[in-house]
Amino acid sequence: MKFRTEILIKKEFEINYDNSILGLGSCFVENIGQKLQEGKFKTRINPFGILYHPAAVSQGIHRLLEEKKYEEKDIFFDGELWHSWMHHGSFSSRNKNDCLEKINTSFSQGISYLSQSETIIVTLGTAFAYELKKEKKVVANCHKINQNLFTKKRWEIDDIVDIMSSWISKMKNKKIILTVSPVRHVRDGILENQKSKSILLLATEKLCQKFDFVFYFPSYEIVMDELRDYRFYNSDLIHPNKIAIDFIWEKFRQNYFSEKAKNNYSEVLKIVQGFQHKILHKGTSSHISFMKFQIKKAELMMEKLPVDFNAEINFLKSELKSFS
């Protein structure tokens, strides 16, 4: 007897440890990105911070392609902070130079990953965009500034297909995974959120039909139809909880990882968990032996795969030195 509707996913290509991955979009891509980073895949997530609308994602990617760094004219001061219309509030700062430094450091990493990546993951959050009335420009973040400065507009299917195609057409040597965030934008209203998600779903379908290197991962459908219960949400009843994220990650991993990557991931994760192990009695002979064993395992794994355990190894070596 079946108690849930299982979402079947067609396997269309594989991800391995020699792949570089760039993720952009809503907070949901950060959930998947964190899992990839935990597994030591070469991954960079959201060099502009969280982006919800297809236009914001597209503007960001075009800027990366242009390799045009941000200058003072690209930021503005409001409410004691310097902000960028293209960036999440985590890049804002009381100091102008600090703001630009954070923006351009992340931007440089984004340029590198866009150039090197074989796979790009994009999660779209909403079809509603906020446009600056004066500049006729879509912003990635309103930064809680006076809403009278913005026009709220719901983009239609063809608008989204056009602006996403403007950069996807330049990525023929990459694999692109599109997904729609299962996080509901209830501030737009329940009905309006449903319309918005429907537009995104139809737009991603058109993009997959238009480009043979663009694929769809059904994270929205997994939460809405396969899990389909508030016990899989956080207390805000909007964001999927850890159980839901782990379930979706397992679907993603099983679908996209090659068999070799699956086996390697399990081995890497054991080493990661070893580094995270809480030691009750530090400096004992068993603790010192454990640290030496962890360092050896990590060094061997770095010889086998393009993974980076240097930070963890250096930390344990400094610990060993303190106990000598």
CATH number at residue 140: 3.40.50
Q: Are residues 123 and 93 in the same domain?
A: yes
Domain count, the chain: 2
Residue at which a domain ends, from 243, 268, 300: 243
Q: Are residues 300 and 226 in the same domain?
A: no
Provide the 8-state DSSP code for 39. Answer: T
Q: For residue 270, is it within any domain? A: yes
Percent of the chain at pLDDT exceeding 90:
91
pLDDT of the residue at 8: 87
Using the predicted structure, report yes or no on whether residue 3 has a pLDDT greater than 80.
Answer: no
Q: Which residues of 83-95 are buried (b: 16+ CB within 10 A; e: fewer)?
A: bbbbbbeebbbee
pLDDT of the residue at 281: 87
Closest CA to 227 of 2, 32, 5: 5
Tokens of 149: 């400065």
Residue 11: pLDDT band (50, 70, 90) is confident
Q: Which residues of 47-74 are buried (b: 16+ CB within 10 A; e: fewer)?
A: bbbbbbbbbbbbbbbebbeeeeebeeee
Domain that holds residue 289: 258-324
Q: For residue 296, is it within any domain? A: yes
CA 203 to CA 191: how far, in whole Å?
19
Residue at which a domain ends, from 243, 269, 288: 243
